[in-house]
Each structure stands twice: as structure tokens, then as C-alpha cells.
Amino acid sequence: MFSFTLVVEVVVVVVVVEVVVVVVVVVVVVVVVVAVVVVVVEVVVVEVVVVVEVVVVVGVVVEVVVVVVVVVVVVVVVVVVVVVVVVVEVVVVVVVVVVVVVVVVVVVVVVVEVVVVVVVVVVVVEVVVVVGVVVEGVVVVVVVVVVVVVVVVVVVVVVVEVVVAEVVVVVEVVLVVVVVVVVVEVVVVVVVVVVVVVVEVVVVVVVVVVVVVVVVVVVVVVVVVVVVVVVVVVVVVVVVVGVVIVVVVVVVVVVVEVVVEVVVVLVVILVVVVVEEVVAVEQQQQQQ
């Protein structure tokens, strides 16, 4: 008599083996997917670290450029101010020397002229005395006195004219010195104003450049971070969807196989039962 117990046991063993194989396949797929996710996350982390390092390097370069520009501007300003101060001091010294020389020359000329006038007056007086002693006469004395008076008046007039002329020259020199000093002051003021304006413009340009660079770096970092986040989200979604699809497919296949195996077992059992009944009926007929 045919027994269907062995068939049932074999079918059960086959189903269990298939379930174990499916579970192992699912575990392997999950492990592979997790490994891929870990690799993707590591690559993304490495890219983020590289971007952060690049941003740090760019920031350091920008700081170095700003420091160099500020140092150059300060050095240029100091050099210009020192040169202007030295030039102003040289011009003032030259002007003072010129004024001193002119005053000395004027004083020497006046002294020489006064000495000449005194000598002339002394000579005239001595001549008048000699003439008075030699000639002896009231008329001659009167004439001599008149001549002396005239000479003295002429000498005084000449001295006054010379003094006035020298005073005029001194006044002109003083006026020239004043004009030179005013011009020098105006030039110094203009140079200082120009230097200050140039420094302000350079500082403004440097600040604008630094702000633009910082904004660009921030925008790049934000864009990179957004792209990395989007990529990570897409990869995670794709991996999760893939895992879900694989799991669903595997579960469906397992369910279908189990159903088919159950149906087959049921059919086999039914066939075995039918065959046993038929065999039993035939044996009964043969015994009768």
C-alpha cells in the first residue's frame, strides 16, 4: 500500500529549503544594499570634507590678500607722507637761507652806503675847513656853509632814497617768502587730501572685493550642500525603493511557490488517496 507520508515530508523539506534560500537571498540583498548606502554616504562625506577644506583655503587666501593689501597701502601712505614732510622741510630751509642771505646783503649794502656817505661828508668838511683857513673871508665862509648845507641835504636825500629802496626790496622779499610758504602749504594740503582719498578708495575696493568673495564662497557652499543633500536623499530613496521592490518580489515569489507546493501536495495526497481506494476496491473484488 502506497503511503503519502513520505511525499508530504519531502514536500515540506523542499518548501523549508526554498524558504531558507529566499531568506538568505533577502539577507544578502539587504547587506549589499546597506554596503552600497554606506559607500555612498562615505563618498558624500568625503566630498563635503573636500568642499569644506577648499572653503577654508579660500578664506585663508582672502585673509592673506587683505593683509597684504592693507600693509602695502599703509607703507605707501607712510612713504608719501615722509616724502612730503621732507620736501616741505627742504623748501622751508631753502626759503629761510634765501631770506637770511638777502637780509645780510641788504644790511651790508646799507652799511657800505652809510660809510661812504660819512666819508664823503668828512672829506667835504675837511675841504671846507681848509678852504676857510686859506681864503679867510666872510663871503667864502657863507658860501662854504651854504655848500655844506646843500651837500648835507643831498646826502640825507640820497641816504633816505637808498634806505627806502632797501626797505622796498626787503618787503618784496618778504612778500615772495610769504607767497612761497602759502604755495607750499597749499601743495601739502592737496597732497594729503589726495593721499587720504586714494587710501579711502583702496580700502573701499578691498572691502567690496572681500564681501564679494565671501558671498560667492557662501553661495558655492550652500549650493554644494544642497546638491549633496539632494543626492543623498535620491540615493536613499532609490535604495529604499529597490529594497522594498526586492523584498516584495521575493515575498510574492515565496508565497507563490508555497501556494504551488501546497497545491501540489494536496493534489498528490488526493491522487494517493484515490489510488489507495482504487487498489483497496480491486483487492476486495479479487478476494470475493
Question: What is the average pLDDT across 122-130?
Answer: 81
**Per-residue pLDDT at 171:** 82
3-state secondary structure of 247: helix
Q: pLDDT at residue 149 above 80? A: yes
Asked whether residue 165 carries a pLDDT value surpassing 50, the answer given is yes
Interval 53-62 mean pLDDT: 85
Q: Which residue has the cell 618778504?
A: 174
pLDDT at 1: 47
Write down the residue that cell numbers 557652499 correspond to: 221
Q: Say what the pTM is.
A: 0.45
Cα 50 to Cα 200: distance, rounded to the nearest angstrom: 37
Percent of the chain with pLDDT over 70: 95
Torsion of CA 79, 82, 88, 93, to 10 degrees: -130
pLDDT band at 199 (very low <50, low <70, confident <90, very high): confident
| Cα angle: 264, vertex 265, 270; to 5 degrees | 95
- pLDDT over 90 percentage in the chain: 0
- Taking each helix axis from N to C end, the angle separating 138-287 and 5-135, rounded to the nearest 10 degrees, works out to 180
Q: Which three cell numbers stand for residue 217?
A: 564662497
Structural domain total, the chain? 1
Q: What is the DSSP letter of 137?
A: -
pLDDT at 136 over 70: no
- Cα distance between residue 54 and residue 283, in whole Å: 93
Average pLDDT over residues 262-287: 81
Q: Minimum mean pLDDT among 146-155, 212-221, 246-255: which range?
A: 246-255
Question: What is the chain's mean pLDDT, rounded?
Answer: 81
Cα separation, 159 vs 155, whole angstroms: 6
Buried b (16+ CB within 10 A) or exposed e, 144-155: beeeeeeeeeeb
Contact call for residues 246 and 29 (beta carbons, < 8 A): yes
Q: Would you state the cell numbers that stand for residue 49, as one nine-digit string?
A: 570634507
Give Cα 79 distance to the centre of its chain: 23
Q: How far apart are CA 37 and CA 110, in angstroms?
A: 108
Predicted local distance difference test score (pLDDT) of residue 7: 66
Q: Which helix (H) or strand (E) holds 228?
A: helix 138-287
Q: Compute how many other C-beta atoms are within 10 angstroms of the C-beta atom of residue 216.
A: 11
Q: Which residue range forms the structural domain that includes residue 189? A: 5-287
Split at pLDDT 50, 70, 90, the class of 178 is confident
